[in-house]
Amino acid sequence: MSDIIQLLPDHVANQIAAGEVVQRPASVVKELIENSIDAGATSITLLLKDAGKTLIQVIDDGKGMSATDARLSFERHATSKIKDAQDLFNLNTKGFRGEALASIAAIAHVELKTKQEDDELGTQIKIEGSEITSQEVVSTAKGTSIAVKNLFFNIPARRNFLKSDTVETRHIVDEFQRVALAHPTISFLLHHNNNEVYHLKKSNLRKRIVAIFGTKMNEKLVPINEQTDIITVNGFVAKPEFAKKKRGEQFFFVNNRFIKSSYLNHAVVNAFEGLLESGSHPSYFLYLEVPPNTIDINIHPTKTEIKFDNEKALYAILRATVKHSLGQYNVAPVLDFDRDATLDTPYDYSKKSNSSVPPITVDPTFNPFKTETNYKEPSNTNSSPKSSTTHSYQSNFKKDTGSWEALYTNTETIEPIQQEQLFESEQETETGKTFQIQKKYLLSSIKSGVVLIHQSLAHQRVLYEEFLENITVKEASSQQLLFPVNISFSSSDIEMIYSIKSDLESAGFMFDEFTKESVVIAGIPTSISESQITLILEQLLDDIKLEVPDTSFSHFDVMAKSFAKSLAIKTGASLNPKEQENLVNNLFSCKEPNISPFGKPTFKTLALNEIDAIFNK
């Protein structure tokens, strides 16, 4: 029997390795920028075309490579970062495996130009699918320029699995932001289809965060700073009132490398205990410095997961550090044992003097069982009896205590809380054949039994079909805003909104102006209100970032889903009889009433025999 095991050709092995290293254009961006940082670059430029599918070019002013190194850099496991296995446990660089360039060159057209500072001329190498087509001497600037063109040109199946340009651009921007946040002392420039998205100058950490996420971020940040024997923690967390419903601006960096850690995230969230609304997530930018030999970063191809030697200690330190900073900057409530008691004095009384305490007197002759209405008022002087004892006593009290009562003038009057305000009625709402249960479900009677409807999911289905029809079939109607609305977003979000501008206009939005950090909206669809604009656009951006399927109707489907989710009746909303009836009727008028736009069931039918079976067991 002949041998069946054989060595794979290098180009096949490289394509297989590329499956781990290069999952999408963003993977290429990450590897190339990290190489530039390892080369000591102080300025890095990223140029993109068609979300990186046509071109990804990274230009840096690093130390460059010699002709020999330039050629060797495209060989598998060729690296300048490590020399033996022990070096894997003392890494201070980004890349170290030596697979990135070989993997990229196996699935794209690559052109490399590089020159060292002391050399007069540099080197240019062109590669197509692992095959070096040319190598020559060229005149070029100090540093390295590498252009990756036609990604996955020889693997069409992989190229077909790429998402829309908007989604792929989002992934690239995510990688770009992570690297830029980790290295504020390096200037970065990002151009997409000849449009400048980011121009980040060399700065400190706070300025870098603000430059990426917009000027409004500055007021949200609370500094974090702690140094111990095993870890140094620096960075910022956002104030609790700026927490978001989606996990967005959450960044951990360990030794200037972006990582993902649900364990450390739990520590931060725990520090916000009691400060966040249910379902909200804090934003943070936290930088951890630990000895390189206490972590293992070689456990995942993307190097975003790290194993720590002393996770429990790091958890405790991180939680305590964040909690301390929230209290230190008066974000969290604290017990103040050094409180100035004079602060208890009302403001209007603070400048008054000679306040006297009213005298307390007792009438020894007073008898509550007497029927007489008059009695002698107690006094240190011989005063005559008053015709009205009650009136006399009150008059005397007011006379002596005017300054005392002045303490509480101009203070807020607290109305007593009615008992019915404390307890919410738990009765069901009844309307003919429909009941609302726990402000979440509608129970409706039908001929064969009953149907239980999830009010929020049902309304999502109704709104989704209405929006989709208005966008794709009918001509969407707009309402002009009396005063245009200016909404702030990050530069990347503005770029994303601009990329779907025509689709949003088809839905009824009207735009006046786009800047790097804001968009001016002059008109909106008639089906939404002005107060819902920000909510809808933020939800739409989140859905695009999370790759809500967008194959059927381009962005129209995503927009219809986002609008429906943003505007649908929420759990906890009380519906009157007419609203219940309308929702039930509208749901069963839909083309697909049984599922929400996101595939969840909207109702459940219980036939009469199923109900009988419950009680006849």
CA gap 313, 230 in Å, rounded: 9
Q: Is the pLDDT of residue 159 over 70?
A: yes
Q: Are strands 284-289 and 250-254 parallel, antiparallel or unpaired?
A: parallel
CA gap 108, 106 in Å, rounded: 6
The predicted pLDDT at position 109 comes to: 95
Among the listed residues 46, 36, 57, the one whose alpha carbon sits nearest the alpha carbon of residue 174: 46
Instruction: Please report, in angstroms and rounded to a whole number, the separation of the first and last CA atoms in the chain.
Output: 66
The residue ranges of DSSP E strands in 423-535, in sequence order, are 429-431, 434-437, 441-446, 449-454, 478-488, 510-514, 518-525
CA gap 499, 158 in Å, rounded: 24
CA gap 238, 223 in Å, rounded: 9
Band of the pLDDT at 531, cuts 50, 70, 90? confident
Q: Give the DSSP H/E element, type plus range, for residue 285.
A: strand 284-289
Alpha carbon of 76 to those of 73, 128, 224, 308: distances in Å?
A: 8, 16, 41, 29
The predicted pLDDT at position 333 comes to: 56
- pLDDT tens-digit map of 27-36: 999 999 999 9
CA gap 329, 320 in Å, rounded: 14
Q: Is the pLDDT of residue 428 over 50?
A: no
The predicted pLDDT at position 412 comes to: 43
The predicted pLDDT at position 82 comes to: 46
Residue 44 burial (C-beta neighbours within 10 Å; 0-12, 13-18, 19+): buried
Note if the pTM is more than 0.75. Answer: no
Q: Are 148 and 110 in contact (CB under 8 A)?
A: yes
The predicted pLDDT at position 122 comes to: 95
For the chain, the average pLDDT equals 79
CA gap 377, 365 in Å, rounded: 9
CATH of segment(s) 434-604:
3.30.1370.100
The predicted pLDDT at position 251 comes to: 94
The predicted pLDDT at position 166 comes to: 83
Q: Is the pLDDT of residue 143 over 60?
A: yes
Least confident range from 403-407, 560-564, 575-579: namely 403-407
Least confident range from 443-457, 526-540, 543-557: namely 543-557
Q: Give the DSSP H/E element, type plus range, for residue 506.
A: helix 501-507
Task: Assess whether the region 10-200 and the region 212-328 belong to the same CATH fold.
Answer: no
Angle at 309 between CA 304 and CA 311, to 5 degrees: 75
- pLDDT tens-digit map of 341-370: 554 455 455 555 555 666 777 777 777 666
DSSP 281: B
pLDDT: which is higher, 13 or 194: 194
pLDDT: which is higher, 58 or 475: 58
The predicted pLDDT at position 418 comes to: 42
CA gap 493, 506 in Å, rounded: 19
The predicted pLDDT at position 379 comes to: 47
Q: Is the pLDDT of residue 552 over 60?
A: no
pLDDT: which is higher, 78 or 359: 359
Amino acid letter for position 354: N
DSSP-assigned beta bridge partners for residue 514: 519
Exposed e or buried b per residue across 438-465, where buried means at least 16 C-beta atoms within 10 angstroms of its C-beta: ebebbbbeeeeebbebbbbbbbbbbbbb
The predicted pLDDT at position 419 comes to: 38
Q: Where are the domains of the chain?
A: 10-200, 212-328, 434-604
Quickly list DSSP for 548-612.
---SSBTHHHHHHHHHHHHHSPPTT----HHHHHHHHHHHTTSSSTTB-TTS-B-EEEEEHHHHH
**Tokens 């054989």 found at:** 6
Band of the pLDDT at 137, cuts 50, 70, 90? very high
Q: How many CA atoms lie within 13 A of 424 on its CB side?
A: 6
What average pLDDT does range 208-226 have in this prediction? 91
Band of the pLDDT at 140, cuts 50, 70, 90? very high
- pLDDT tens-digit map of 368-396: 666 655 544 444 444 444 444 444 444 44
- pLDDT tens-digit map of 249-302: 899 999 988 988 888 999 999 999 888 877 788 999 999 999 888 887 755 555
The predicted pLDDT at position 550 comes to: 43
3-class secondary structure, 518? strand
* CATH classification for the domain delimited by 10-200, as one of 3.30.470.10, 3.90.650.10, 3.20.20.100, 3.30.565.10: 3.30.565.10
- pLDDT tens-digit map of 470-480: 776 666 678 88
CATH of segment(s) 212-328:
3.30.230.10
Amino acid letter for position 591: K
CA gap 593, 589 in Å, rounded: 7
Among the listed residues 23, 105, 27, the one whose alpha carbon sits nearest the alpha carbon of residue 70: 105
Angle at 99 between CA 96 and CA 101, to 5 degrees: 105
- Treating both helix axes as pointing N-terminal to C-terminal, what angle do 25-38 and 165-182 enclose, rounded to 10 degrees? 20
Rg of the chain on CA atoms, in Å: 35
The predicted pLDDT at position 564 comes to: 87
